[in-house]
Structure 1
Amino acid sequence: MRVWLITIGEPVPTDGHDERLLRTGILARLLSQNGHEVVWWCSSFDHTRKKQRTVHEVSTTVSDGYRLMVLRSRGYQRNISLARLLDHREHATRFAELAPREPIPDVILCSMPTIDLSRAAVKYAVSRKIPVVLDIRDLWPEIFVDLAPRWARGLARLILTPLFRDLRWACSHATALTSMTPQILQWGLGYANRSRSELDREFPFGYEERRPTDVELREANEFWKEHGIAVDSKQFFVVFFGTIGRQFDLDTVIDAARRLDGGSRAFHFILCGAGDRLDYYKKAAAGLSNVSFPGWVGSSEIWALMRIAHLGLAPYHNTKDFCASIPNKPIEYLSAGLPVLSPLTGVLHDLLLRNGCGVFYSEGGVKSLVDALELSYDDPAHLKIMANNAINLFQERFTAEIVYSNMKKYLEEVSNSVT
C-alpha cells in the first residue's frame, strides 16, 4: 500500500536524533516498518522553532520506502498573522503542482489544519478516486473568530468566509473523518453535513516512550544539574514543556509562584520551551527564585526531568477547541506517571477526574492554583496514588503502539474500502 501523509506542523525525522516525533512521524515509521510505501508531505518551515529547515524544496529518503516531500514556504513568526495564512496558501499551491508528478497513492491521510492543504488534498484525491481521510486536530477557523473581541466576531467570521467555505467542501468530499475525541469528530461531521459513517473514527494522540541510553541520561541529568535542578533535590517540581505562546495561561502560574516564593514549601516551576511569549514571561518572572526557563530541550532532557517531577502543568485556556480535545501534552505527562495540573474543563478534565490523576484549579485563579499546589505538596501519599493512576491510564489508552497500530489497520481498511 502506498500512503501519503500530509502534515506540516510536526517535527520530522531530519530535525535531529533527539527530536520527539509526534502523531504523523510515529505513524509514518510504523507504516514503513510494516512494508508500506510512505510519502510524508511536510514543510521547509519548522513551526515550533520558527525557522527554515532548508532553502530548497526537496525529496528526502528516510529509509527504504519512506520519503519526506518538503514543501517550500515563506514561514512566519507569529501564529496568528497574515504571514501564516499566506504560508499555508503556499503549501497548498505547491502541493497541487507537485502531487500529480508523484506515483498515485492508495490512500491519503491529511491533517486539518491546514484548511488550504486539506482542500488541495481532497481535490487531488476526488479527481483520481483515491480514498482520503481528514484527521481533524483543531477547530479552524472557528478558533480565530473566538479570539476576536466579542464586538468584532461577526466581522471576523465574514473575513474568514473563504476558509469556512473551503472547510465545508473538504469535509463533505473526504472519504472519512478522524479525530482525537468524539466531540471534535462531531464538529467535523457538522461541516460535512452528514451523519457518522463506519469509516469515521476517533484516535487519540499516542505518545512514544523512548528511554534514553545511559550516556544520554547522564548528559541529561548533568544538563539539569547545571540549571540547579538535581535528581536528589528536596524541591517539589512543577514542569511544563511546549511552545510558550498565547494558548497557555502562564501569567497565573507566575503569579502563584510569586506567592509561594520563599515560603516553607519548596516549589520550583520549570517552564521549558520557546515561543513568541517567552521574553514576556521571563520579564514577568524576573527576581523569582522558584521559576526557571531552560529554553528548548530535547527528548532525553524531557524524559529525565519528568522522572523527578511531581506535577505536569497543562495551563490551557478554556477555549472551545481545547475543551473538546485531549491535547498531547497531558498524555506525555501521563507516560511518566505525572499527575496533570490544569484549569482545563471539558474532555480532559473528565478523563483525569474519572481516572484519579488530575489536580485542578480555576483558570486565572491564583489562589485556586496556590491551594491546589499546597494540597498536593502536603499529601505525598495521595500524589503517589495519582502517579500510579496516571501510568495505568497511559498504558491502557495512549501508548503509541496501541494508537498507531490501530491507525495503521484503519488506513489499510480505508484503502480496501474504495474500489
Structure 2
Amino acid sequence: MKVWLIQANEPIPAVDKNQRPFRTGMLAEALLKQGHEVVWFAATFDHYTKTQRFSVNQMVQIEDNFQIQFLYGCRYQKNISLLRIKNHIQIAKQFKRVSRKLQEPDLIYCSFPPIYLAKKALSYANQKNIKFVLDVRDLWPEVFERAVPKKMYWVTNPIFRYLHRLVNQLYRNSYAVNAVSNECVNYVIEKSGRKKKKYDSGYFIGFPNRYQLSAEESLIARAEKVQIIFVGTLSNQINYDLICKIAMKLKNIDFIIGGDGPLSEDFHTLAKDLPNIQFKGWLDANTIQQYMKQASFALIPYYDTFDFQLGVGNKFAEALCYALPPIVLCNGVMKNLILNNQCGVFGKDAHDVAFQITELLDDDIKYQNYVKNAHHLYQEQFDSSKIYPNLVNDLVKLQEE
C-alpha cells in the first residue's frame, strides 16, 4: 500500500537532528515496518525551531520506500499571526502543484490542522477517488476563537463562521475521522453532523518504548532533590500563572522548565522571584531524557479549556513512559485517566495541587504505587509500538474495503 502522510509541522527525525518521532513519525515507522510505501508531506519551515530547512520545494529520499516532500512556506515567529496564515496558504498551494506530478497513493492520512492544506488534500483525494482519513490533532478554529478579546468579536465572527463551515465540510466528507481520543472523535461528529462510520476512532498519541523506564528503574534514577519537569513549547496554551503559584507553595522542590517559545520572556518575568523555577532553554532529545529520568513528577500545565479536556497530548504519554506521575491542571480525558488508574495528581488551584504532591511525597508506599501504576498505564494504552501497528492494520482494512 502506498500512503501519503500529510503533516506540516512535526519534527522529522530523519532530517532534523536529535529529534524523536512524534505521531506522524511513529505512524511512518509502523507503515514502513509492515512493508508499505510512504511519502510524507511536510513544510520547509520548522515550526519548532523557527528555521527554514529548504528555500524551495524539496523531495528528500530517506530510504527505498520512504520520501519526504517538503512544501515551501514563509517564515513566521508568532504562532498566532498573519504570517503563519500566509505560510499555511502557501504550503497548501504547493501541495496542489506538487501532488499533480507524483504517483497517486492508495490512501491519504492527513493531520488536521492546518485547515487549508487539509482542504487541498481532501480535494485531491476526491478527484482521484482515493480514501482520505482526517486525523484531528487540534480543534481549529476553536482554539483561535478562545484567544480573541470579546470586544473584537464583531470583526472576527464572520471569519470564524466561514472557518467553521469549512472545517465541518472536512469532517463530513472524510472517509474516516481519527483523533487523539474517542471523546474528540465524538465531538467532531456532533459538531459537524457527520454520521459516525466504522473507522471513526480515537488513537492515543503514544510514546516510543525505547525511552521506557520500569517503575523500579524510575525510582532508582530520581534525583536526590525532588524535581517537577515540563519540556515543551512555551506558548499561550500553558497556564504560567498557576505554575508559579504552585512553585511558590513548594519552595523546596525544583521546577525544571525545558523549551522555548513565543511566551518564554513572559514566563521568565512571572517567575523572576522564584529561584526554584529553573529554565533550561531548548533541549535535544538526549538531554530531555536525562532530565526526565531524574524527575519525580511531570507537569502537564495546560489551561482547563474544552480542547485540552478532549485531548491527550504527547507530554502525557511521555510522562507515563518514564513512569512519572503526571500533574494535570485541566478536566477531561487526562484527568479521568490518572484518577481511574491512581497514577497522578489533578488540581485546579495551587493549594490543591501542592497539598496532593506533599501528601504523596510524605507517603513512600503510595508514591511508589503511583509510579508503578503510571508505568502500567503506559504499557497498556500508550506504548507506541502497540498503538501504531494497530492503526496500520485498521488502515489496511479500510483501504481494502
Normalized against structure 1, the TM-score is what?
Answer: 0.90
- Of residues 277, 284, 288 in structure 1, which corresponds to 2:274? 288
Q: Which residue of 1 aligns with 2:143?
A: 143
Q: Which runs of 5+ in 1 are unaligned?
A: 213-230
Identity %: 31
**CA-to-aligned-CA distance 1:320-368 (integer Å, 9 cap, x gap):** 1101111111110001110001211011101110001111221xx2323
Equivalent residue for 2:352, pick from 356, 368, 392: 368
Q: Determine helix, strand or coil for the equivalent of 2:290.
A: helix
Whether 1:399 aligns to 2:389 is no
Is the counterpart of residue 352 in structure 1 residue 338 in structure 2?
Answer: yes
Give 2:321's match in structure 1, choosing from 335, 360, 384. 335
State the match for 1:311 in structure 2.
Answer: 297
Partner of 2:133: 133
The alpha carbon displacement at 1:126 in A equals 0.4
In the alignment, which residue of structure 2 is the partner of 1:221?
A: none
Q: Could you tell me which of 260, 269, 277 is aligned with 2:250?
A: 260
On the 8 A contact 2:328/2:334 being kept in 1, the answer is: no
Aligned residues: 394
- Corresponding position of 2:218: none
Structure 1 residue 169 displacement after superposition: 2.1
Letter in 2 for 1:360: F
1:260, distance to aligned residue in structure 2 (A): 3.4
> Given the alignment of the two structures, is residue 171 of structure 1 paired with residue 192 of structure 2, yes or no?
no
**TM-aligned CA distance change 1:300 to 1:197, over 3 Å:** same
> Residue 387 of structure 1 aligns with which residue?
371
After TM superposition, the structure 1 stretch with the greater mean CA deviation from structure 2, 175-184 or 121-130, is 175-184
2:146 and 2:158 map into 1 onto residues whose CA distance is 13
Superposed displacement of residue 106, structure 1? 0.2
Summarize deviations over 1:249-268 as a string: whole Å, max 9, x none: 1222123323433xxxx311
Note the alpha carbon deviations across 1:179-227, whole angstroms, 9 max, x for none.
1212211222235422211121221111103249xxxxxxxxxxxxxxx
What one-letter code is carried by the residue in structure 2 that aligns with 1:329?
K
Checking the alignment, whether the CA contact within 8 Å between 2:180 and 2:203 is kept in structure 1 is yes
Check 1:186–1:211 CA distance in 2 against 1; reply closer, same or farther (3 A cut). closer
Post-superposition offset of 1:13: 2.4
Aligned residue number for residue 275 of structure 1: 261
2:100 alignment partner, SS class: helix
**Partner Cα separation in structure 2 for residue 45 and residue 190 of structure 1:** 34
Contact 2:172-2:192 at 8 Å conserved across structures: yes
Deviations 1:69-100 (A, max 9, x none): 00010131111112111111111111011111
> How much does 1:154 deviate?
5.8
Structure-2 separation of matches of 1:129 and 1:191: 26
Is the Cα contact below 8 Å between 2:345 and 2:353 reproduced in 1? no
Whichever residue aligns with residue 395 of structure 1, its letter is Q
Matched, 1:70 2:70: yes
Paired residue secondary structure (1:135): strand
Alignment of 1:121-270 (within 5 A): 121-153=121-153, 155-211=155-211, 233-261=223-251, 266-270=252-256
Q: Spell out, residue by residue over 1:279-312, the C-alpha distance to the aligned partner (whole angstroms, 9 max, x if none).
A: 2212222243312111111222222222221100
1:104 aligns with 2:104: yes
Could you say which residue in structure 2 is the equivalent of 1:227? none
Distance in 1 (alpha carbons) for counterparts of 2:29 and 2:157 = 39
* C-alpha RMSD over aligned residues: 1.9
SS where residue 74 of structure 2 aligns? Answer: coil
> Cα 1:280–1:151, aligned 2, differ >3 Å: closer, same or farther?
closer
1:416 maps to 400
1:217 matched to which residue of 2? none
1:17, distance to aligned residue in structure 2 (A): 4.4
Change (3 A) 1:93 1:384: same
Whether the aligned pair in 2 keeps the contact of 1:13 and 1:62 (CA below 8 Å) is no
Q: Quote how far apart the aligned CAs of 1:127 are.
A: 0.6
Q: Separation in 2 of the partners of 1:289 and 1:9?
A: 34
SS of the equivalent of 2:20 reads coil
Q: Which residue of 2 aligns with 1:226?
A: none
How many angstroms apart in 2 are the aligned matches of 1:27 and 1:94? 24
- Secondary structure of the residue that 1:60 maps to in structure 2? strand
Deviation (angstroms), 1:232: 7.1
Distance 1:392 1:98, change over 3 A: same
Structure 2 counterpart of 1:225: none
Q: Write the letter of the residue equivalent to 1:274.
A: D
Amino acid at match of 2:70: V
For the residues of structure 1 that align with 2:246 and 2:375, how far apart are their CA atoms?
28
The structural deviation recorded for 1:233 is 4.1
Q: 2:281 is matched by which residue type in structure 1?
A: G
Report the residue type matching 1:143 in the other structure: V
CA-to-aligned-CA distance 1:22-45 (integer Å, 9 cap, x gap): 110111122122211100000111
Question: What residue is the counterpart of 1:57 in the other structure?
Answer: 57
Answer whether contact 1:2 1:37 (CA < 8 A) is retained. Answer: yes
CA distance in 1, matches of 2:10, 2:40: 11
Contact 1:316/1:344 (<8 A) preserved: yes
Structure 2: tracts of 5 or more residues without a match: 213-220
Q: Determine helix, strand or coil for the equivalent of 1:55.
A: coil
Does the 8 Å contact 1:253/1:369 carry over to 2?
no
Q: Secondary structure at the match of 1:184?
A: helix
